[in-house]
Structure formats: C-alpha cells, structure tokens
C-alpha cells in the first residue's frame, strides 16, 4: 500500500506536498485519500494464476517505473515482497534509457539505490532487504530493462510491436507508475 504514496513521499509536487505531514522520522500516509484499494484482489489474481500455470515461478510482474527516491525504494520493497511470498517468479522493472525529468528511473538509479541500502548505517532490516534483492537480481528474478520507448511521447497503442509482444508473453500483471504512464494509457484523456 505504501507504494501508492511514492509521489507523495517524493514531495516534488506542491499540491501533493501540502497533504504530507511528518511524525518523527517517518511520513504519515493518509489512507483515506486512497479511492480504491484492490490489493486483496491482485493477490487473489496472482494466486489463481499460479495454480493454473504450474506455480508462481511461471508468473511475471512488469513494473513500468516512474520516480527514483522513496518511490523506487518502495517499488523494490514491493518486488521483494511479491517474490518472497511466492506471488510471482520474476519482476521486471521497465525504466527509461535516459532521463526526461530529473527523477526518472534509469538502470544506474536502481544500482545506486541498492548500493545505498548496503551501507552500515542502515538498519538490519534494510540490509537484509538489500541482500534479498541482490540475490533476486543474481538469479534473474529481478530484471532491469531500459528501453528508449519509455522516453518517447507516444501512447501505449503506439508501442512497438516487439515490446507489445514481450509484455504480452511475459506479463501476468503490469503495474503502471506515474502520471505520464497513466496519461499514455488513456491517450491523455482524463
């Protein structure tokens, strides 16, 4: 659920920033602002797919990434959670090949975030998360896939056939992150 608040925690949007308050060293998230929470249905969907496809190891979750910082850390934690709980066998992060906006996720950002979790000043829980993420990466269960398509100002119905085919073949679930991705999905109709 915290992953939904990545933009809020990022604090780059003034309207979003005004709804954020700090309690101690952590952010307080206003769950009443969530319009719909389909978490239980998503988990049930993945469990049903796992039963019908020979197990969760055959399921892929595709993240269309958005922002670095807190949002990316929460996305990585969500990937760890899905893999640890056997809701899927692989999580692929689709990232931009180069930045359009200062906070766009690129491959080096994922590496940098994971390296930051290794620092001794981090809590044992964060370092344990880092260790699991590194293991998932080494086993090919977490994949970082840059593509210049994510840098283009085109709608999803204009997606190259090769990328459409790959997503259709590998994705059990696609998670779109960020305003731009939602606008692309809806052809900028809000």
- Residue 69 · residue 101 · CB < 8 Å: no
State mean pLDDT over 169-190: 87
User: What residues does 92 pair with on adjacent strands?
Assistant: 62, 143
State mean pLDDT over 152-178: 93
pLDDT at 30: 66
Cα torsion 128, 130, 134, 135 to 10°: value is 20
- Residue 46 · residue 89 · CB < 8 Å: no
Give the per-residue SS3 of 31-99.
Answer: HHHCCCCCHHHHHHHHHHHHHHCCCHHHCEEEEECCECCHHHHHHHHHHHHHHHCCCCCEEEEEEECCC
State mean pLDDT over 9-23: 55
Higher-confidence residue: 149 or 28? 149
Q: What is the pTM of this model?
A: 0.84
Question: Using CA atoms, how far apart are residues 20 and 26, in angstroms rounded to an integer?
Answer: 11
- pLDDT tens digits for range 49-106: 999 989 999 999 999 999 998 899 999 999 999 999 999 999 999 999 998 888 999 9
CATH number 3.40.50 is the correct assignment for the domain at 2-185: yes
The single-letter DSSP state of residue 186 is: T
Higher-confidence residue: 151 or 12? 151
Examine the pLDDT at 20 and tell me if it is beyond 80.
no
Q: What percent of the chain has pLDDT over 90?
A: 62
pLDDT at 1: 41
């Amino acid at each position: 659920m915290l992953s939904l608040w990545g933009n809020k925690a990022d604090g780059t949007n003034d309207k979003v920033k005004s709804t954020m308050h700090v309690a101690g060293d952590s952010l307080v998230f206003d769950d009443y602002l969530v319009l719909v929470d389909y978490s239980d249905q998503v988990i049930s969907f993945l469990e049903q797919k796992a039963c019908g496809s020979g197990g969760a190891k055959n399921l892929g979750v595709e993240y269309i990434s958005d922002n670095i910082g807190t949002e990316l850390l929460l996305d990585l934690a969500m990937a760890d959670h899905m893999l640890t709980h056997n809701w899927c066998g692989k999580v692929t992060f689709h990232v931009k090949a180069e930045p359009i906006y200062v906070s766009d996720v690129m491959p080096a950002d994922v590496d940098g975030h994971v390296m930051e979790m290794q620092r001794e000043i981090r809590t044992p829980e964060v370092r344990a998360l880092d260790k699991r993420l590194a293991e998932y990466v080494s086993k090919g269960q977490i994949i970082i896939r840059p593509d210049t398509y994510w840098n283009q100002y085109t709608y999803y119905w204009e997606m190259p056939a090769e990328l459409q085919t790959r997503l259709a073949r590998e994705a059990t679930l696609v998670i779109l992150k960020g305003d731009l991705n939602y606008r692309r999905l809806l052809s900028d109709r809000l």
